[in-house]
Amino acid sequence: DSGVTQTPKHLITATGQRVTLRCSPRSGDLSVYWYQQSLDQGLQFLIQYYNGEERAKGNILERFSAQQFPDLHSELNLSSLELGDSALYFCASSVDFRTSGNTIYFGEGSWLTVV
């Protein structure tokens, strides 16, 4: 158990819908990362937050947004869903983004299936 908690574990929804994925980082971790893993692609970095502020943005679509709340949990919002958005979405956390060598621990992921 990495200590990073993601909910829901599995989600099936229809095209055009909106979903929210939730992540609770490890106790004491201030930095949260979101990654997408599709079947035919590797792990793609989406976005990073540190102590409530956005710190880095990767290949995140405009239909997607995220935020980190004062209690440090984070949510990834996916809207106008398309079939191609079906993927495993990982949340990860680390203590401090300023020390990038801090190990990044991953949650178990949220499986999203768009039908």
Give the C-alpha separation, 22 to 64, whole Å: 13
Q: Does 97 bind another protein (CB under 8 A)?
A: yes
According to DSSP, the residues that pair with 87 across neighbouring strands are: 112
Nearest to another protein of 18, 57 (CB atom): 57
Among positions 27, 62, 71, 100, the unique one binding another protein when judged by CB under 8 A = 100
Nearest to another protein of 19, 105 (CB atom): 105
Exposure letters 85-112 (e unless 16+ CB within 10 A, then b): bbbebbbbbbbebeeeeeebbebebbeb
Nearest to another protein of 15, 53 (CB atom): 53
Q: Does 101 bind another protein (CB under 8 A)?
A: yes
Q: Does 75 bind another protein (CB under 8 A)?
A: no
Give the C-alpha separation, 97 to 115, whole Å: 36
Looking up tokens 């190990």 gives 103
Among candidate residues 81, 90, 65, 89, the one with its CA nearest the CA of residue 114:
81
Among positions 56, 80, 82, 113, the unique one binding another protein when judged by CB under 8 A = 56
Q: Does 88 bind another protein (CB under 8 A)?
A: yes
For another protein, the binding residues (CB under 8 A) are 2, 33, 35, 37, 42-43, 45, 48, 55-56, 58, 88, 90, 92, 97-101, 103-106, 108-109, 111
